């Protein structure tokens, strides 16, 4: 174990820091869950890509930099340190990208990865259905083969980014007689295809960031399928692993939140409840613990190891620490916590953040599902 950064890693950090300081927008962007904010974030995504910072861990051939996971962690630290905007391309970066990299053909990689890295195509995920949320194997939306196309009919819901994004990816039942995990395929589709209707859903904060998708005989070329027909479940499970595991929630995000929480506490120390003091310290400790663990997992993967059901430990830890940290902030703000805009007209980012943090224990497999996975796969308890 060597916790010092190498000279090269330090030089890389300086390079990221310099670029971010010169390019991160001075004013905060409007939330990407609204149409105007979405377009601002797409613009930022393209600016990142212009500096070749869009997908730092991807191979250079697809618009990345070919960096290792420790460099990725350094990149993320500098990204959050600079206060850079959230990534509108998150589904592409952390979910679809790694999936196409692992399961896609060379042609699919060339076709989908490079535009993703350049911020030219923004992706929505289309997993859940009205009756298939945590029980994703219960999906019923059909994709029936018709020559060179699949014809998709059915409904997806809670599709992040789908109100405004360009393309979507999801699981569809390509064998209409199949049950549960079998007969599913992983298919990519253009959200502007004839027959796709998007109905934006107002989320808890009032903005329509995700959507219901209705498919009315939508024709999708067979070459948009990732991996074999009927192999979708395994592909989706790998994608879900990326989502729960290392890549989705970089520790820098929580370290930044803990740092802001400490500042908030100092401002309100005189009137804060005694328990708040300890909760603020706990937020810092948990953010640090998550960072150490992420570095440990990254080191393990770089040494040839794998992360399996352990990803569920990460998902529970980051989602619960995030919620606790934002709850603490709301309690410190007291009567002001309910205001959408605080003194001086600034957006109450703690309120926004608290609302968003409530989704963490639900999405990417609810924490109840994660606990079942830990109990059954890590502890070996009976199903």
Partner 1 sequence: MDFTITEDQATLTGGVRDYLAGVHAPELLRALDASDSRRSADVWQGLTEMGLPGLLVPEAQGGLGLSLLDAVLIAAELGRAGVAEPLADTALVAAPLLSKVGGQEALLAAIAAGEAKVALQHPVNPWVADLDGASHLLSVEDGALLVAEHSGGTDLLDSVDPLRRLYVPIAPSGTAVGSADALLDHAALIAAAQLVGLADAMLEQATDYAKNRSQFGQPIGSFQAVKHHLATAVVKIEFAKPVIQRAAVALQEGAASAPVHVSHAKLAASDAAWAMSETAIQTHGAMGYTYEVDLHFWMKRAWALSGAWGDRAFHLSRIDAAVLGGALPIGPGHSFA
Active-site residue numbers? 243
CB of residue 106 vs partner 1: minimum separation in angstroms?
33
Cβ at position 232, least distance to partner 1 in Å = 27
Q: Any contact of residue 76 with partner 1 (CB under 8 A)?
A: yes
Joined tokens for residue 243 = 């989502």
Region binding partner 1 by CB under 8 A among candidate stretches 29-37, 55-63, 107-115, 259-267: 259-267
d(CA 35, CA 370): 33
Using the rule CB under 8 A, is 382 a contact of partner 1?
yes
**17-46: string of b/e by CB count within 10 Å (b at 16+)?**
bebbeeebeeeebbbbbbeebbebbbebbe
Q: Which stretch binds partner 1 (CB under 8 A): 20-28, 162-170, 232-240, 367-375?
A: 367-375
Nearer to partner 1, 124 or 313 (CB): 313
> From the list 6, 131, 134, 197, which residue makes contact with partner 1 (rule: CB under 8 A)?
6
Shortest distance, CB of residue 88 to partner 1, whole angstroms?
A: 20
> Can residue 322 be called a binding residue for partner 1 (CB under 8 A)?
no
Q: Is 21 in the site for partner 1 (CB under 8 A)?
A: no
Q: Is residue 110 near partner 1 by the rule CB under 8 A?
A: no
Smallest distance from partner 1 to CB 328, Å: 13
d(CA 221, CA 225): 8
DSSP tag of 57: T
Interaction of residue 14 with partner 1, rule CB under 8 A: no
237 binds partner 1 (CB under 8 A): no
| Structure tokens that stand for 287 in this block | 């953010």
Q: Is 262 helix (H, G, I), strand (E, B) or coil?
A: helix
- On whether the CB atoms of residues 73 and 295 are closer than 8 A, the answer is yes
Q: Which residue, 165 or 264, is less far from partner 1 as judged by CB? A: 264
Selected from 166, 317, 324, 331, the binder of partner 1 by CB under 8 A is 317
Check residue 77 for interaction with partner 1 (CB under 8 A).
Answer: yes
CA distance 198 to 156: 10
Binding residues among 329-358 for partner 1 as defined by CB under 8 A: none
For residue 152, the 8-state DSSP code is E
Interface with partner 1 includes 291 (CB under 8 A)? yes
Check binding of 135 to partner 1 (CB under 8 A).
Answer: no
Which pair of tokens denotes residue 28?
A: 């905060």
User: DSSP assignment of 92-151, as one string?
Assistant: IIIIIHHHHHHH--HHHIIIIIHHHHTTSS-EEEE--BTTBSS-GGG---EEEEETTEEE
Binding part of the chain for partner 1, among 45-53, 108-116, 274-282, 340-348 by CB under 8 A, reads: 274-282
Q: Which of 193, 288, 331, 336 binds partner 1 (CB under 8 A)?
A: 288
CA distances from 373 to 34, 170, 278, 296, 376 (A): 35, 22, 31, 21, 5
CA-CA-CA-CA dihedral for 265, 267, 269, 270, to nearest 10? -160
Q: Which residues bind partner 1 (CB under 8 A)?
A: 1-6, 9, 13, 70, 73, 76-81, 251-253, 255-256, 258-259, 262, 265-266, 277-278, 280-281, 284-286, 288-293, 295-296, 298-300, 303, 310, 313, 316-317, 368, 370-372, 374-376, 378-383
């Amino acid at each position: 174990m060597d916790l010092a950064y190498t000279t090269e890693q330090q030089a890389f950090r300086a390079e990221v820091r310099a670029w971010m300081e010169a390019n991160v927008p001075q004013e905060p962007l409007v939330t990407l869950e609204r149409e105007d904010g979405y377009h601002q974030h797409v613009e930022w995504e393209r600016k990142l890509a212009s500096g070749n910072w869009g997908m730092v861990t991807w191979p250079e051939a697809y618009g990345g930099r070919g960096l290792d996971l420790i460099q990725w962690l350094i990149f993320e630290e500098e990204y959050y340190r600079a206060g850079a905007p959230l990534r509108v391309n998150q589904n592409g970066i952390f979910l679809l990208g790694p999936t196409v990299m692992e399961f896609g053909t060379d042609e699919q990689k060339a076709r989908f990865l490079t535009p993703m890295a350049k911020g030219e195509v923004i992706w929505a995920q289309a997993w859940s259905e009205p009756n298939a949320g945590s029980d994703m194997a219960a999906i019923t939306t059909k994709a029936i083969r018709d020559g060179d196309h699949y014809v998709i009919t059915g409904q997806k819901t809670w599709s992040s980014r789908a109100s405004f994004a360009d393309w979507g990816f999801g699981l569809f039942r390509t064998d209409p007689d199949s049950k549960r995990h079998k007969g599913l395929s992983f298919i990519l589709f253009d959200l502007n295809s004839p027959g796709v209707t998007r109905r934006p859903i107002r989320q808890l904060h009032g903005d329509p960031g995700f959507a219901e998708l209705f498919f009315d005989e939508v024709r999708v070329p067979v070459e948009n399928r990732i991996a074999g027909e009927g192999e979708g479940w395994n592909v989706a499970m790998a994608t879900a692993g990326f989502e729960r595991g290392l890549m989705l929630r970089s520790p820098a995000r929580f370290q930044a939140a803990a740092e802001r929480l400490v500042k908030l506490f100092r401002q309100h120390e005189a009137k804060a409840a005694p328990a708040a003091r300890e909760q603020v310290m706990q937020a810092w400790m948990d953010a640090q613990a998550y960072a150490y663990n992420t570095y440990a997992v990254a080191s393990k993967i770089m040494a040839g190891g794998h992360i399996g059901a352990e990803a569920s430990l990460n998902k529970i830890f980051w989602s619960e620490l995030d919620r606790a940290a934002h709850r603490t902030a709301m309690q410190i703000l007291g009567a002001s916590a309910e205001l959408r805009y605080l003194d001086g007209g600034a957006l109450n980012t703690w309120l926004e953040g608290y609302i968003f943090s409530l989704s963490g224990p639900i999405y990417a497999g609810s924490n109840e599902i994660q606990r079942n996975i830990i109990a059954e796969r890590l502890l070996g308890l009976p199903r």
